[in-house]
Structure 1
Amino acid sequence: MTDDPREAGARPPFPGDQQQARPGLSSRMTPAPDHGEHSYVGKGLLTDRVALITGGDSGIGRAVAIAYAREGADVAISYLPVEQTDAEETKAWVERAGRRALLLPGDLREEAHCRDLVARTVAEFGRLDILVNNAAAQTVNDGLDDVTAKDLEGSFRANVFAMYYLCQAAVPHMKPGSAIVNSTSQQAKVADKTMLIYAATKGAIASLTIGLSNLLAPKGIRVNCVAPGPVWTPIQPIVKSPEQIASLGSETPLGRAGQPAELAPAYVLLASREGSYMSGALVPVTGGTPMY
């Protein structure tokens, strides 16, 4: 593995013709994303903790699940039922690290399911120390008329409402030293004109992270968010054209898309004692693209 950040992951061009139906599967991507399966080395930073990760079947969520397991945590994984094959793969990697994995299929757009995720995690593992709100729906547009009411409501339900419901359900089980880590995006600040609704939800997540950090600091619970740039995950071939896929990440200063494995260390930092004085932070992992 190279120390040169320009060459640490696959560079464009990528094979452009790999569009997928929603929600997309990691197993169908070429080249295969790097989730840290063969590179992440744990240091015992999360020994005997319990984490609930939404969207943990693939992409950044899988990378975080693998990293947390290798740091010593048991992991509950939330995902859509059609993502079962990817979820089983993530479970296998968690178990290879010697930790327990709980698979929890369902739709985060349903409030009852969000609350059930927390209840089932606590019932299985006896505690909940880390909540990672990572799952997201992405909608693209050419103009205002391309966004339907269904798109608008579905995106906010999946990306923002679910985060709120999960936090409501999780916090009563959390003790001082627990952590919530949210996935926002560089789109929260740069807001591409073709991603109006997605950018709006990610801006809401960034703001909600700050508010929650202020609310929960007196309880000893830290709340932070990570802002990825373009990352090679299944969400990309769902919404981008073959031309956009082929050049993904080429506009970043490092000239390439990130790999999920390159995001995981930020999530470990924010969940562990190593980040004990970090709360209300937004951590950009964007390949050098500025957010301010």
Structure 2
Amino acid sequence: MSDQINPPQVQDHQPGRETEMHPKPQYMPRYPGSGRLKDKVAIVTGGDSGIGRAVAVLFAREGAEVALVYLEETEDAAITADAIKAEGKQALLLRGDVGDKTFCDNVVGQVIEQFGKLDVLVNNAAEQHPKKDVEEITPQQLRETFETNLFGYFYMAQAALPYLGEGSAIVNTTSVTAYRGSPELVDYASTKGAIVAFTRSLSGQLAEKGIRVNAVAPGPIWTPLIPATFDAEKVAEFGASQPLKRPGQPNEVAPSYLFLACEDASYITGQVLHPNGGEIING
């Protein structure tokens, strides 16, 4: 097909495995570090692959120790951990479901035990399950999507806040679908819209404490979630409709998270950045 971007491919499990993708997403930072997160400690949920992996490795290059939270993708997580260690930083691997509040509490507890502090929380874990008809969305799917994509953000923020102080940052992953909708991802898009409201509301609550809360709304990015979500034809065409005529790579999105996490964004809170290949949206 004339607009094929990547080879057709599918995966039969969520949120997908980067080891099974071809070509592999580009995650390594594209420039030398400058110490923008020197001596910081960060948690990245969904940090094993995709955007989370690129963010974690970039944070390490900029000087942060990183805790990677992942669901079950052990091989992907190990590759990310090796990349962090290659940057001279520590990687703490924490496997579990962010939809479980007890697990989220334990994540933060282990980070404090390992590193003694916490400076940056990146809420990034997500799942999506396309359905052409809203009536096909089962109560179980609706519940699980909200538990991962929204409840997990609440739980992680609640667990982290006792350890965050002035100058700390929370960065949430929303999506372009929060702004333009997605007919086949009604429940997923709904969670992403809620994350925008969560970001704006929490930023106002925490401003007086000097804790900044922002978000990133990626467009079509080449991550394991794509072949784990769509059929082979859609995967092959993924990103072709954007003004830049291609999907973005994780390492093209990660700098948005770095900017919002570091002091470069010291006067920015309650905002959303839009690395989406040129799509103009409101908000």
Q: What TM-score, normalized by structure 1, do the two folds share? A: 0.94
Checking the alignment, whether the CA contact within 8 Å between 1:19 and 1:242 is kept in structure 2 is no
Pick from 193, 196, 199 the counterpart of residue 186 of structure 2: 196
2:19 corresponds to 1:27: yes
Per-residue deviation, 1:40 = 3.9
Output aligned runs, 1:168-179, within 5 Å.
Answer: 168-179=158-169
Q: Distance in 2 between matches of 1:158 and 1:79?
A: 11
Match of 1:7 in 2: none
Match of 1:58 in 2: 49
Checking the alignment, whether the CA contact within 8 Å between 1:121 and 1:127 is kept in structure 2 is yes
Structure 2: state its 5+ residue gaps.
none
Checking the alignment, whether the CA contact within 8 Å between 2:15 and 2:126 is kept in structure 1 is no
Match of 1:17 in 2: 9
Pick from 132, 140, 145 the counterpart of residue 122 of structure 2: 132
Per-residue deviation, 1:145 = 1.9
Q: Distance in 1 between matches of 2:136 and 2:31?
A: 41
Percent of pairs with identical residues: 45
Letter in 2 for 1:130: V
Output aligned runs, 1:1-292, within 5 Å.
Answer: 12-36=4-28, 39-81=30-72, 83-292=73-282
Checking the alignment, whether the CA contact within 8 Å between 2:14 and 2:127 is kept in structure 1 is no
Checking the alignment, whether the CA contact within 8 Å between 2:174 and 2:195 is kept in structure 1 is yes
Checking the alignment, whether the CA contact within 8 Å between 2:98 and 2:152 is kept in structure 1 is yes
Letter in 2 for 1:24: G
Matched pairs, number: 280
Q: Distance in 2 between matches of 1:13 and 1:49?
A: 38
Q: Distance in 2 between matches of 1:135 and 1:109?
A: 10
Checking the alignment, whether the CA contact within 8 Å between 1:12 and 1:249 is kept in structure 2 is no
Per-residue deviation, 1:241 = 1.1
Q: Distance in 2 between matches of 1:110 and 1:69?
A: 27
Local SS of the residue matching 1:236? coil
CA 1:12/1:44 → structure 2, altered by over 3 Å: closer, same or farther? farther
Give the 4+ runs in structure 1 shifted more than 3 A: none
Q: What TM-score, normalized by structure 2, do the two folds share? A: 0.97
Local SS of the residue matching 1:139? coil
Local SS of the residue matching 1:285? coil
Q: Deviations over 1:140-186 (max 9, x none)?
A: 11002220000100011001111001111101101100000000000
Q: Distance in 2 between matches of 1:275 and 1:87?
A: 29
Q: Deviations over 1:6-55 (max 9, x none)?
A: xxxxx942111333322311011011100025x34211100010000000
Q: Deviations over 1:213-267 (max 9, x none)?
A: 0000000000000000000000001111111100000010000000000011000
Local SS of the residue matching 1:235? coil
Checking the alignment, whether the CA contact within 8 Å between 2:52 and 2:124 is kept in structure 1 is yes
Checking the alignment, whether the CA contact within 8 Å between 1:53 and 1:77 is kept in structure 2 is yes
Per-residue deviation, 1:139 = 1.8
Letter in 2 for 1:259: Q
Q: Distance in 2 between matches of 1:262 and 1:190?
A: 21
Local SS of the residue matching 2:69? strand
Letter in 1 for 2:17: L
